[in-house]
Amino acid sequence: MPLHPRTCSLLYSISCLLDALDGLAARHFQQSTKFGAVLDMVTDRCTTACLLVFLASAFPRWSIVFQGLISLDLASHYMHMYATLSMGGSGQSHKKVDESRSWVLKQYYSNNAVLFTFCAMNELFFIALYLLSFSSPLLSPTLLKSPDSPTSLTPGTPAAPKPSMLFTSPWSAGAMEYARANKMDSTVPWILACVSFPVMFGKQIINVIQLVKASKWLAEGDKNARRQQGLTRRKTKAKKNA
């Protein structure tokens, strides 16, 4: 990620496309399993988190935003998966959502085209930001400065790393790739970022809805369990005695 933006973007994109195909392959060969469903979600979360961690270091002023996105992504999917397994039964898929519980999540998980579009555009936006960190002086002002020019940034920070921290030789393969990366044109990444941003933003809204609905579902389960154990009645009696 730090040295080969073109190669990284290509491999990351291929990984995202294969992620959409593995479920189809599992269903076609009748190899769908609970382990596969959980592994698929966990792998997605880890992949996105890795990219967001790099973006947090590439844009340190916006690191709290990327940290929030990582937290929201992990929390919402974990709560949804746990609520589905504990409240809906061990055999229920996390993609099977009752419309009465959430119409938005029902449309999101039941329509493969909608699910693929939101996930693909979400990843596309972050890939575009990743490429812009190498090509856009607007987002990365250090691209405008040569290594010998004075800068107000503290050397050694993520925004202005010391050359010796990255490469032992200015003619190394990594240094040459970094130089080529800085000459990347930012037009296409900007277009991709602008086109995919609305869908990415919508995906975060869906994550919030998913987190809230799963939390309420688990709370309902706790409430019913306490009622069955008589804990609510004891609390009521204690109030009357007081």
The one catalytic residue in 19, 22, 40, 44 is 44
Q: Which amino acid is at 19?
A: D
- Measured CA to CA in angstroms, residue 128 lies from 68, 122, 194, 240 at distances of 19, 10, 9, 62
- In the block, tokens 């080969």 appear at 4
Half-sphere exposure in the Cβ direction for 49 (13 Å, CA): 13
Structure tokens at 37: 């469903």
CA max distance for the chain: 83
Is 185 annotated as catalytic? no
What does the alpha-carbon distance between residue 216 and residue 13 come to, in Å, rounded to a whole number?
35
- In the block, tokens 């929390």 appear at 75
Catalytic residues: 44
